[in-house]
Amino acid sequence: MTGKTVLITGANKSIGFETARQLGQLGYRIWLGARDEERGKVAAATLVAQGYDVRALAIDVTDDESVKVAAARVQSEDGKLDVLINNAGILGGEMIAPSQQSVDIVREVYETNVLGPIRVTQSFLPLLKAADGANVVMVSSGLGSLGWLSDPDNQFHGINVLAYNSSKTALNAVTVAFAKEFSAFGIHVNSADPGYTATDFNGHSGYRTVEQAGKGIVWLAAQDKSGPTGGFYFDGTTVPW
């Protein structure tokens, strides 16, 4: 057992759930975050039955009070947090031309994909500081890479989704900002691209498995004090911002 703790938001299914399973295999105590408390409990119970140390944690990343209550519980029961994985995210409906994208939808996507990780990271910072060399992982997307999106030869060039893509680009900027500040606390902050993974998110059209996606996130989560900070990675290799 590592004795280390990790909170994963949006972890009751898909990539978040698989990431929890893989970290459970490594001996982490898992705080399985879910907006729907009952679904979180069911997911946690599944992993507990497999022999992992998992606790369901009700947390809605768009709600200040929910995040505050969640942080207070982790503080009360563990007193620290070694790893925070901001995984919760939404797509924002169907793919339509950017000029036709509803500003209300953009706002909704940003509330979860950008403001959510900011809110959670700020609230859990005292617990991250209490750990010895904590890691924060922002689950981003290759669709947030301006380098890839602007390259006509890249596989993602033709996927021009205003709300989702730009929210992940903004999340990458959040990663850099926190990484610069948190270096003084010995906390590393990085973005992870899980790749085009088959999940409910995309109607299971992705070519990667959740096991593959989780592996890259776990790689960042388990880095020691000599690991990277302020970077963007896909399966351990650097992704252009």
pLDDT at 5 over 50: yes
**What are the sequence ranges of the domains in the chain?**
5-238
96, amino acid identity: I
Give the pLDDT of residue 203: 60
User: Tens digits of per-residue pLDDT, 94-135?
Assistant: 889 999 999 999 999 999 999 999 999 999 999 999 999 999
Q: How confident is the model at residue 208 (pLDDT cuts 50, 70, 90)?
A: confident
Average pLDDT over residues 20-45: 98
Task: Check whether 146 has a pLDDT greater than 90.
Answer: yes
Q: What is the pLDDT of residues 61-79, one digit of tens each?
A: 999 999 999 999 999 999 9
Q: Do 11 and 210 contact (CB within 8 A), yes or no?
A: no
Token pair in block for residue 186:
């010995």
Please state the rounded mean pLDDT for residues 180-185: 98
Percentage with pLDDT > 90 across the chain: 90
Segment 37-65 mean pLDDT: 98
Tell me which of 205 and 101 has the higher pLDDT: 101
Closest CA relative to residue 149, chosen from 133, 164, 130: 164
Output the pTM of the full model. Answer: 0.95
Q: Clarify whether 28 is annotated catalytic.
A: no
Q: Is 95 left (phi over 0), alpha (psi -120 to 50) or beta?
A: beta
Q: Kindly give the pairing relationship between strand 232-234 and strand 237-238.
A: antiparallel
How many Å apart are CA 154 and CA 148, to the nearest integer?
6
Q: What is the DSSP letter of 28?
A: P
Q: Which of 28, 110, 164, 233 is catalytic?
A: 164
- pLDDT of 198 reads 47
CATH architecture of 5-238: 3-Layer(aba) Sandwich (3.40)
Mean pLDDT over all residues of the chain? Answer: 94
